[in-house]
């Protein structure tokens, strides 16, 4: 039927005929809307967040972390206030970075050692850094079978990597998340990262102990992972040392011990251990946890522990400034308008990259 109200059925569009449409069901689920409204209504105050976190309420902790991860300015403001309130209650944990290539067994390992750690009356939070995000969401939690047992434990809290964002941004969010987790009473923090790129450096800059998971075999043990990452390791665990892999794992262990001898001792004066383990068979796991504790005691005694934490704080101050300046520049309206134009000028060889950068920065500095 012709819809007489429709503007295009007026005489001036006489070649057109627009029929009355069929009412479409709302694409929004009404139940979801009312649920959302309920959630919105119960928006928490700064005190609610702080008290909830201090009581170890994980749903409030999760909501606070979501604020940290949000890019909305009003969320960011609240998140910063929560972090500030929590700061005096943070810092009392052991922070362990765990890295290794995909498939080395990180999730399995974290589940096994995580259960071991909480059996010693610790409270464990597992965080992740992976700026390639979507994959990590899948890899740390999406597949429900991963860390299934650990995630059911009251003493464990597992949070996937914040999604979108630059590595610097994701890393900063993870560092802020550590503060909230510590204020919530978690005394052990694991930070998982995929050992294939830059994220190790970011993780290294926020943990006390850095564990590298490796595999035996393939003949080129030292090739799979960058030398710089091996140099960062406080311990190397050769995983999957079970079944007919045990002998190969022992050979690999010797090769790593030899390789590590070639590196000069780091500032911590700690000589990195190489340990074989099986995350599936739960062998070597307690030894690795003992090593972490030995390292912590050793570096607390020689002063390196607090020195490193101080250096990390300094590093994060500068990182935060860098991040904020960069975001301010790129989100500036004037820059947003002009940057494509200058980019095009550079692509067409009309001006050099340096001149383009200079001109854009001038626009930014003298914008007022
Ligand atoms: P991730 O990608 O590093 O997190 O690795 P996963 O934890 O998902 O493990 C990859 C595969 O290796 C899975 O099939 C695990 O069951 C297997 N795996 C993990 N740890 C061990 C281990 O200690 N021994 C053996 N034989 N397999 C393992």
- CB of 102 within 6 A of ligand 1: the answer is yes
**Residue 320: other Cβ atoms inside 10 A:** 14
- Digits of tens for pLDDT over the chain (368 positions)? 555 555 555 566 555 555 655 554 444 444 554 555 555 547 899 999 999 999 999 999 999 999 998 888 889 899 999 999 999 999 999 999 999 888 889 999 999 999 999 999 999 999 988 755 444 444 444 444 578 899 999 999 999 877 656 777 788 889 999 999 999 999 999 999 876 666 777 888 899 999 999 988 754 555 556 677 888 899 999 999 999 999 999 999 998 898 888 888 888 999 999 999 999 999 999 999 999 999 999 999 999 999 999 999 899 889 888 888 988 899 899 999 999 999 999 999 999 999 999 999 999 998 66
pTM here?
0.80
Closest atom of ligand 1 to 140 CA is: 4
Please state, in angstroms and rounded to a whole number, the distance separating the CA atoms of residues 304 and 158. Answer: 29
Please give the distance, rounded to the nearest whole angstrom, from the Cα atom of residue 195 to the centre of ligand 1: 15
Check if 279 has its Cβ closer than 6 Å to any atom of ligand 1: yes
Task: Report CA(176)–ligand 1 centroid distance (Å).
Answer: 29
DSSP state of 280: T
Residue located nearest, by CA, to atom 6 of ligand 1: 105
pLDDT of 227: 72
What are the start and end residues of each CATH 1.20.5.170 domain in the chain?
33-85
Separation of alpha carbons 228 and 282, rounded Å:
29
Residue 284, ligand 1, Cβ within 6 A: no
pLDDT at 71: 80
Domain limits, CATH 3.40.50.300, in the chain = 90-314
Rounded Cα gap, residues 69 and 138, in angstroms:
18
Domain 90-314 has CATH 3.30.565.10: no
CATH architecture of 33-85: Up-down Bundle (1.20)
Q: What is the pLDDT of residue 141?
A: 46
| CA 272, 186, 61, 75 torsion-angle sign | negative
Predicted confidence at residue 368, as pLDDT, reads 63
Question: Please, are residues 172 and 323 in contact by the beta-carbon 8 Å criterion?
Answer: yes
For residue 102, the ligand 1 atom closest to its alpha carbon is: 2
pLDDT for res 204: 84
Q: Does residue 188 sit in helix, strand or coil?
A: strand
Is 104 a pocket residue for ligand 1 (Cβ < 6 Å)? yes
Coil vs helix vs strand at 145: coil
> How much distance in Å is there from the Cα of 303 to the middle of ligand 1?
36
Q: Give the end-to-end CA distance of the chain in Å, rounded to a whole number.
A: 58
- If you take atom 12 of ligand 1, which residue's CA is the nearest one? 105
280: phi then psi, degrees, rounded to nearest 5: -75, -45
Q: Where would I find the H helices in the chain?
A: 30-41, 46-54, 58-69, 73-86, 106-119, 134-136, 148-151, 167-183, 199-204, 227-232, 246-261, 285-302, 304-330, 333-347, 353-365
pLDDT at residue 137, rounded to an integer:
45
Could you tell me the distance, in angstroms and rounded to a whole number, from the CA of residue 141 to the centre of ligand 1?
15
Q: Output the residue whose Cα is nearest ligand 1's atom 25.
A: 240
Cα–Cα distance between 178 and 162 in angstroms, integer? 13
- Which protein residue's CA is at the shortest distance from atom 17 of ligand 1? 105
Please, are residues 188 and 96 in contact by the beta-carbon 8 Å criterion? yes
Residues 6 or more apart whose CB falls under 8 angstroms from that of 343 comprise 356
Return the pLDDT at 200. Answer: 75
């Amino acid at each position: 039927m012709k819809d007489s109200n429709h503007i295009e059925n007026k005489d001036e569009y006489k070649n057109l005929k627009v029929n009355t449409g069929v009412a479409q069901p709302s694409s929004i689920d009404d139940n979801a809307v009312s649920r959302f409204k309920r959630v919105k209504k119960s928006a928490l105050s700064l005190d609610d967040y702080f008290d909830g976190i201090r009581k170890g309420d994980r749903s409030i902790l999760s909501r606070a972390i979501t604020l940290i991860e949000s890019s909305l300015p009003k969320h960011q403001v609240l998140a910063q206030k929560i972090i500030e309130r929590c700061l005096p209650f943070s810092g009392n944990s052991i922070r362990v970075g765990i890295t290794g290539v995909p498939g080395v067994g990180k999730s399995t390992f974290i589940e096994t050692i995580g259960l071991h750690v909480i059996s010693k009356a610790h409270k464990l939070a597992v965080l992740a850094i992976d700026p390639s995000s979507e994959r990590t969401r899948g890899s740390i939690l999406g597949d429900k079978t991963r860390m299934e047992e650990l995630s059911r434990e009251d003493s464990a809290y597992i949070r996937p990597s914040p999604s979108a964002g630059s590595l610097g941004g994701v890393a900063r969010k993870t560092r802020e998340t550590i503060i909230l987790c510590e204020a919530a009473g978690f005394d052990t923090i694991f930070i998982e990262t995929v050992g294939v790129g830059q994220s190790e450096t970011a993780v290294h800059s926020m943990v006390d102990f850095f564990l590298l998971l490796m595999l035996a075999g393939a003949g080129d043990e030292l090739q799979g992972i960058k030398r710089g990452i091996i140099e960062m390791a406080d311990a190397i665990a050769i995983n999957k040392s079970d079944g007919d892999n045990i002998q190969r794992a022992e050979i690999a262990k010797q090769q790593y011990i030899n390789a590590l001898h070639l590196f000069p001792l780091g500032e911590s004066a700690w000589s990195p251990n190489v340990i074989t383990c099986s995350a599936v068979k739960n062998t070597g796991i307690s030894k690795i946890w003992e090593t972490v504790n030995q390292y912590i005691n050793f570096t607390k005694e020689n002063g390196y522990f607090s020195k490193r934490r101080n250096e990390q704080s300094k590093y994060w101050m500068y990182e935060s400034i860098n991040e904020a300046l960069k975001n301010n520049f790129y989100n500036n309206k004037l820059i947003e308008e002009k940057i494509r134009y200058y980019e095009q000028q550079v692509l067409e060889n009309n001006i050099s990259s340096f001149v383009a950068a200079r001109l854009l920065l001038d626009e930014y500095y003298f914008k007022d």
